[in-house]
């Protein structure tokens, strides 16, 4: 068990201030993963961790996705997240679930921040368990039968120029997925990757996706906001959470490193 307190009643937990991630036992790592699957987000403050220590920690969580084009000083398990006075955009703008176009999309993501602006730069999170549960019963029953095509338009390998769009595969996933650790249903479409609903015509698909995206974006009661400080580490479970990085701090600098852990093929409602 890891001592923690809730960020909101339904979403997010912050670990006790005396917990150092690099000192966790295997049992505590399992507890961290379970807490993330139940609460969606886990925040750890005042962490002392090098790039290599973060990469090593990522392997304790599972199989990290890699970025072979990293410079030698950045381990392949990490992605640098940076915006400064030369940036027109910041990584993570717009509601999304990390690289959901993978056939086995991520479970946990782990972002450690080193440099933060004097104000702003928060990350917003939305609870996809609650997004599904707050739909009407009729809409729940309908979307449970559907699948969506996830294209790699926001994939880090494409966005970074490491690969062409056609070199990064797409995937088809259920619109509602079952979390393997909690058994709960979560809405699983996001504006960052989903191109269409399978089996609906273009107008129907666009209208339904826009309805679901608006449902996530405007339902403040299923969201929370995390303020970053140097040394803050945040874990989020992409199977049940979406996030949005606010780029409201231009021209100041924000710098961090993310590890992304491969998950499993999403489980549809038809499989239970």
Tens-digit pLDDT profile for the chain (272 aa)?
A: 899 999 999 999 999 999 999 999 999 999 999 999 999 999 999 999 999 999 999 999 999 999 988 999 999 999 999 999 999 999 899 999 999 999 999 999 999 999 999 999 999 999 999 999 999 999 999 999 999 999 977 676 656 666 776 677 899 999 999 999 999 999 999 999 999 999 999 999 999 999 999 999 999 999 999 999 999 999 999 999 999 999 999 999 999 999 999 999 999 999 98
**In whole angstroms, how far apart are CA 38 and each of 99, 182, 228?**
21, 7, 22
Q: Residue 85 maps to which CATH number?
A: 3.60.130.10
Does this model's pTM top 0.85? My answer is yes
Locate 203 and state its tokens.
């107008």
What secondary structure letter does DSSP report for 64? B
CB 96 within 8 A of CB 236: no
- Looking at the annotation, which residues are catalytic? 96, 98, 243, 258
What secondary structure letter does DSSP report for 77? T
Nearest of 247, 250, 242, 251 to residue 121 by alpha carbon: 247
Q: Quote the domain boundaries for residue 20.
A: 4-271
Radius of gyration of the chain (CA): 18
Measured distance CA(121)–CA(26) in Å, rounded: 32
Torsion of CA 199, 204, 208, 209, to 10 degrees: 80
Q: What's the total number of domains in the chain? A: 1
User: How many CA atoms lie less than 13 Å away from 97 in the CB half-sphere?
Assistant: 33
Measured distance CA(111)–CA(113) in Å, rounded: 6
């Amino acid at each position: 068990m890891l001592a923690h307190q809730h960020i909101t009643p339904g979403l997010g937990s912050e670990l006790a201030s005396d917990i150092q991630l690099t000192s966790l036992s295997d049992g505590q790592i399992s507890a961290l993963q379970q807490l993330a699957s139940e609460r969606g987000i886990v925040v750890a403050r005042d962490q002392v961790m090098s790039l290599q220590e973060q990469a090593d920690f990522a392997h304790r969580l599972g199989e990290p996705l890699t970025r072979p084009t990293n410079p030698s000083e950045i381990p392949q398990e990490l992605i640098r997240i940076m915006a400064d006075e030369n940036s027109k955009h910041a990584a993570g703008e717009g509601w999304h679930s990390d690289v959901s176009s993978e056939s086995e999309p991520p479970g946990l993501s782990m972002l450690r921040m080193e440099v933060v602006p004097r104000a702003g730069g928060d990350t917003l999170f939305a609870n996809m368990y609650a997004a599904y549960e707050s739909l009407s019963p009729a809409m729940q029953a309908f979307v449970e039968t559907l699948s969506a095509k996830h294209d790699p338009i926001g994939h880090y390998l494409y966005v970074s120029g490491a690969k062409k769009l056609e070199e990064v595969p797409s995937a088809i996933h259920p619109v509602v997925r079952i979390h393997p650790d909690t058994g709960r249903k979560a809405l699983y479409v996001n504006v960052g990757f989903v191109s269409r609903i399978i089996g609906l015509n273009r107008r129907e698909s666009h209208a339904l996706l826009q309805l679901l995206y608006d449902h996530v974006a405007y339902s403040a009661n299923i969201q929370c906001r995390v303020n970053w400080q140097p040394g803050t580490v945040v874990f989020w479970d992409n199977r049940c959470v979406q996030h949005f990085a606010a780029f409201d701090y231009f021209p100041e600098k924000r710098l961090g490193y993310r590890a992304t852990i491969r998950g499993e093929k999403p489980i549809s409602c038809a499989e239970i």
